[in-house]
Amino acid sequence: MENKQELQSLLDRTAAVCRSLTGSGRQATYIPELATVDPSLFALSAVTLDGAVLSSGDIGARFSMQSMSKVMSLSFALERLGYDEVFSHVGMEPCSEPFNSIMKLEMTSDTPLNPFINSGSIIMAGLLAERLGSGVIDEMLDFASRMTGNKSGLAVNERVYRSESSTADRNRALAYFMHSSGALSFEVEKSLDLYFRLCSIEVGTDDLAVMGATLANAGKNPLTKETIVSVDTSYTVIGIMSVCGLYDESGWFAVKAGVPAKSGVSGGIVCAVPGRMGLAVFSPPLGKGGNSVAGVEAVSRLSKELKLRGI
């Protein structure tokens, strides 16, 4: 088990160094509400498998999950609908195009490459909305709260949701294109609405690090000791995080940091290191691939110092 004092001091040192990188990169503005976030915020959390939560930096910072919600949605879908049904709608291969690219879909007219790009996640949302009906968002918020161990209960940030939903030309284009090709066989606007709500769930790095630790702990939340997902589901999700977690920078990140992770355009990265810990970092400015510049650096440094590399 990890030495907590050493881990805390490593987080503090990493936060101090990486905070200086918040001037590099640019925060996302295509969702107007994301442009209002203070770009200098930096927070880092680690959760060990014996249930210690350690954080550093702006630990009170709250932000939307964005694409990190795709980890939770996939976990939920696998538990509720099963592996075969989920992977009859999406693949599990990395994507060499940006997360919102329409090109691959048009070239192959096939199912989305994986559930962590927008097209794949919109299909997951449509599938869940159709199977579970109007209560789906409450069920998923409850699942997300249990997976993150958040006692007050996670909720959708309505401002982010409205901002995202009213400026979503690109995601609408993806969804309607998939509907025309038959890849998305569910009601388009319902699929999108659930997708936007899931992206807008508000969290802190402590919540995300517990989510990562739950997967790293073979599906059992190390804080509450509740089994959230099966061992098989945790391995499936971690496998996809390993190869598809940072969009078209997943290969580069695997070489640089070597840990299963998932990023979001709010500037967060959540990591699940099997048998060791969950990690999460938040810093809004993004590099050209849409990943947090300071966040990638922080995870890489922690991976090296703690010898987490395992991909």
List residues binding ligand GLN (CB under 6 A): 66-67, 99-100, 118, 164, 171, 199, 264-265, 290
Cβ-based nearer residue to ligand GLN, 52 or 92: 92
Contacts of residue 132, defined as CB under 8 A and 6 or more positions apart, other chains included, come to 80, 139
Q: How far is the CB of 16 from ligand GLN (least distance, A)?
A: 27
- Cα angle, residue 21 at apex, residues 15 and 24 outer, rounded to 5°: 155
Q: How far apart are the first and last CA of the chain?
A: 20
Cα 71 to Cα 213: distance, rounded to the nearest angstrom: 12
Q: Which residues contact 63 (CB under 8 A, 6 or more apart)?
A: 37, 202, 203, 204, 266, 267, 268, 282, 284
- Residue whose CB is nearest to ligand GLN in the complex, by number: 67
**What is the nearest approach in angstroms of ligand GLN to the Cβ of residue 267?**
9
Least separation in angstroms between residue 239's CB and ligand GLN is 20
Q: Which is nearer to ligand GLN, 53 or 161 (CB)?
A: 161
Cα 90 to Cα 83: distance, rounded to the nearest angstrom: 11
Minimum CB–partner distance for residue 129 and ligand GLN (Å)? 16
Residue closer to ligand GLN by CB (options 7, 31) is 31
Taking the complex as a whole, the smallest distance from the CB of residue 250 to ligand GLN amounts, in Å, to 12
CB of 235 to ligand GLN, least distance (A): 24
At what angle are helices 293-306 and 4-19 packed, to 10 degrees?
150
For ligand GLN, give the closer residue by CB, 55 or 118.
Answer: 118
CB atoms near residue 220 (< 10 Å): 19
Residue with smaller CB distance to ligand GLN, 164 or 223: 164
Nearest to ligand GLN of 101, 150 (CB atom) = 101
* 122-146-91 Cα angle (round to 5): 30
